[in-house]
């Protein structure tokens, strides 16, 4: 603890995603005392970054960055005027480790671009090509493993090149156009930030040392331009582009940490090919992955899909009425199919379930599993029904039967999210849980096409069959 702090270059202790997560952390969805404590902790996080212990002058720059980050979040409708998270704030904060691609994806959702990728077959079902197109966009933003190029022929006169490994096919032109607009918006916002922080930190007599000769001199009023670039004749950077920033602007402004998307970069198409074929061997032969890299890379895509699917389902569930959103259904089908192929490829859950029924996934630390009745049959007053499907606490879009053994009553309810999430939400509100009654649970059905109408119709059918009360 007594050693000197390390020198950190090219990294900022703050980011737009961090600011958004702090707004989510200090939202009004808590008691006043808890919120007051959360605000104090958030303030401490912003006010006392470790990097300022070595570079005190960075504190002003971080405060200025916070102002521009808040301006960006308000303009993009992630927070309202009171600092409360709205819209796609939850999704963007869950994908914070992918910044700025989390904001780019939410921008596509806000502009309605992804809805144009979803098409139906003549039978009224979402086409497989639509799922592939959606996954292509997800891989372009969140599966960014760069594909390098190599010469086709070793020749001095041959300038033909091709990717060394299979690249991701190009996304739809209107998607690229929208991403280019997102880049332009980022450029506009953070051009003002760079100008502001350069003006605040400008010096009339800035000492400069040449890197090779070691000659020192003073540079007058450099503002945002790197002194060495000023010696080369660059007086002002008019075109605020990433390439210009890296070479002509001052390094102490940390411009390399500013968000931006390279839409021309060649990206590996490994996840798209896996989704279409389910073959792991192509990951190493066609996409140059080591065997040990296949699982974590595909798992990252799967976790991203699950985050998107859950967030969209929650937002759809919070909106009452309206027609069924095809995009929500498409991401649900895409996530389910990708998860199935992932489990099959890596032999996950293989041989654990040989029949349909209700199962307990977790031996402990799961409230839902602790009350699930392991059975493949639903019984009520001498009548029996077979459970169709392998159902557990992770199942979503289901009809749930809750039996209070203490009161000898049955209750029917539904869940759009997982059964575990539904049980946790009832734990503090449902009378039979609050009074510590003995309760048993069975997942009686998982609807094929998740929608409010499908869930309501199935609930009414089972409520009539089982003669249970509605919860």
Per-residue pLDDT band at 154 (split at 50, 70, 90): very low
Q: Say whether pLDDT at 213 is over 80.
A: no
Q: Which residues pair with 442 in a beta bridge?
A: 401
Average confidence (pLDDT) over 251-271: 74
Range name among 61-70, 83-92, 148-157, 203-212 with the lowest pLDDT average? 148-157
| Chain length of the chain | 471
Range name among 127-141, 252-266, 433-447 with the lowest pLDDT average? 252-266
User: Tokens in use for 93?
Assistant: 């904060």
Q: Say whether pLDDT at 230 is over 70.
A: no
Per-residue pLDDT band at 138 (split at 50, 70, 90): very high
Q: Say whether pLDDT at 343 is over 50.
A: yes
3-state SS record for 50-109 = HHHHCCCCHHHHHHHHHHHHHHHHHHCCCECCCCCECCCHHHHHHCHHHCCHHHHHHHHH
Average confidence (pLDDT) over 401-427: 87
Rounded Cα distance between 169 and 403, Å, is 52
Q: Which of 367, 411, 432 is nearest to 393 (CA)?
A: 367
Q: Say whether pLDDT at 37 is over 60.
A: yes
Q: Indicate the helix (H) or strand (E) that contains 402.
A: strand 396-404
Q: Say whether pLDDT at 323 is over 50.
A: no
Residues above pLDDT 90, as percent of the chain: 9
Average confidence (pLDDT) over 16-43: 84
Q: What pLDDT is attached to residue 354? A: 47
Q: What pLDDT is attached to residue 105? A: 92
Per-residue pLDDT band at 203 (split at 50, 70, 90): low
Stronger pLDDT, 3 or 441, i.e. the higher one: 441
Q: Which of 357, 251, 339, 252 is nearest to 303 (CA)?
A: 339
Q: Say whether pLDDT at 408 is over 70.
A: yes
Residues sharing a CB contact under 8 Å with residue 452, sequence separation 6 or more, in sequence order: 324
Q: What pLDDT is attached to residue 320? A: 47
Helices (H), 203-286: 227-231, 242-248, 270-277, 281-285
Per-residue pLDDT band at 9 (split at 50, 70, 90): very low
User: Tokens in use for 143?
Assistant: 């599966």
Q: Say whether pLDDT at 104 is over 80.
A: yes
Q: What pLDDT is attached to residue 201? A: 65
Q: Say whether pLDDT at 321 is over 60.
A: no
Query: Exposed (0-12), middle (13-18) or buried (19+): which is 110, by Cβ within 10 Å?
Result: middle
Q: What pLDDT is attached to residue 131? A: 92
Average confidence (pLDDT) over 35-39: 85
Q: Say whether pLDDT at 202 is over 70.
A: no
Q: β-strands 161-163, 390-391: how paired?
A: unpaired
Q: What pLDDT is attached to residue 238? A: 54
Q: What pLDDT is attached to residue 229? A: 61
Range name among 41-50, 145-154, 312-321, 369-378 with the lowest pLDDT average? 145-154
Average confidence (pLDDT) over 55-73: 81
Rounded Cα distance between 336 and 111, Å, is 25
- Report helix angle 16-25 to 101-110, nearest 10: 70
Per-residue pLDDT band at 258 (split at 50, 70, 90): low
Q: What pLDDT is attached to residue 97? A: 87
User: Tokens in use for 333?
Assistant: 């089908």
Full-model pTM: 0.66
Average confidence (pLDDT) over 38-59: 78
Q: Say whether pLDDT at 18 is over 60.
A: yes
Range name among 99-108, 299-308, 341-350, 362-371 with the lowest pLDDT average? 341-350
Q: Say whether pLDDT at 249 is over 60.
A: yes
Please give the mean pLDDT across all residues of the chain. 78
Q: How many CB atoms lie within 10 A of CB 113?
A: 18
Q: What pLDDT is attached to residue 255? A: 61
Rounded Cα distance between 160 and 1, Å, is 55
**Upstream peptide bond of 100 is cis (omega within 30 degrees of 0):** yes
Stronger pLDDT, 302 or 203, i.e. the higher one: 302
User: Tokens in use for 32?
Assistant: 């006043």
Average confidence (pLDDT) over 155-170: 57
Rounded Cα distance between 404 and 247, Å, is 70
Q: How many CB atoms lie within 10 A of CB 377?
A: 13
Average confidence (pLDDT) over 196-200: 72
Q: What pLDDT is attached to residue 134? A: 92
Residues above pLDDT 70, as percent of the chain: 78
Q: Which residues pair with 412 in a beta bridge?
A: 401, 470
Range name among 3-12, 30-39, 68-77, 324-333 with the lowest pLDDT average? 3-12
Strand, coil or helix: what is 112? coil
């Amino acid at each position: 603890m007594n050693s000197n702090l390390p020198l950190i270059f090219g990294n900022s202790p703050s980011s737009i995603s961090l600011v958004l997560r702090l707004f989510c952390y200090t939202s009004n969805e808590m008691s006043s005392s808890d919120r007051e404590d959360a605000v104090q902790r958030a303030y401490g996080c912003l006010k006392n970054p470790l990097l300022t212990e070595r570079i005190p002058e960075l504190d002003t720059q971080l405060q200025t960055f916070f102002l521009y980050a808040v301006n960006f979040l308000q303009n993009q409708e992630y927070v309202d005027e009171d600092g409360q998270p709205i819209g796609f704030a939850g999704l963007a904060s869950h994908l914070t480790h992918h910044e700025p691609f989390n904001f780019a994806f939410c921008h596509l959702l806000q502009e309605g671009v992804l809805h144009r990728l979803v098409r139906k077959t003549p039978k009224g079902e979402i086409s497989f090509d639509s799922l592939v197109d959606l996954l292509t966009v997800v891989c372009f933003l969140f599966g960014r493993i760069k594909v390098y190029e190599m010469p086709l022929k070793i020749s001095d006169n041959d300038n033909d090149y091709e990717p060394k490994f299979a690249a991701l096919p190009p996304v739809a032109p209107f998607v690229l156009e929208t991403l280019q607009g997102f880049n332009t918006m980022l450029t506009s916002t953070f051009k003002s930030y760079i100008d502001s922080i350069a003006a605040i930190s400008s010096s009339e007599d800035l000492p400069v040392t040449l890197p090779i000769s070691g000659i020192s001199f003073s540079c007058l009023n450099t503002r945002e331009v790197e002194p060495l670039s000023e010696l080369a004749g660059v007086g002002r950077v008019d075109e605020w582009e990433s390439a210009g920033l890296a070479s002509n602007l001052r390094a102490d402004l940390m411009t390399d940490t500013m968000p931006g998307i390279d839409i021309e970069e060649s990206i590996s198409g490994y996840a798209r090919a896996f989704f279409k074929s389910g073959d792991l061997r192509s990951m190493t032969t066609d996409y140059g992955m080591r065997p040990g890299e296949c699982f974590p890379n595909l798992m990252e895509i799967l976790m991203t899909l699950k985050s998107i699917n859950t967030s969209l389902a929650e937002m759809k569930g919070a909106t009452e009425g309206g027609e069924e959103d095809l995009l929500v259904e498409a991401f649900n089908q895409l996530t389910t199919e990708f998860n199935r192929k992932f489990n099959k490829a890596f032999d996950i859950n293989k041989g654990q379930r040989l029949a349909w029924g209700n199962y307990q996934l977790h031996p402990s630390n799961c409230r839902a599993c602790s009350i699930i009745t392991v059975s493949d049959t639903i019984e009520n007053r001498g009548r029996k029904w077979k459970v169709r499907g392998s159902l557990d606490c992770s199942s979503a879009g289901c009809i749930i039967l809750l039996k209070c053994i203490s009161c000898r009553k049955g209750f029917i309810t539904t869940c759009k999210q997982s059964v575990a999430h539904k049980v946790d939400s009832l734990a503090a509100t449902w009378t039979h849980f609050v009074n510590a009654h003995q309760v048993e649970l069975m997942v009686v059905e998982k609807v094929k096409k998740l929608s409010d109408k499908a869930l309501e119709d199935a609930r009414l059918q089972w409520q009539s069959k089982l003669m249970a009360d509605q919860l």
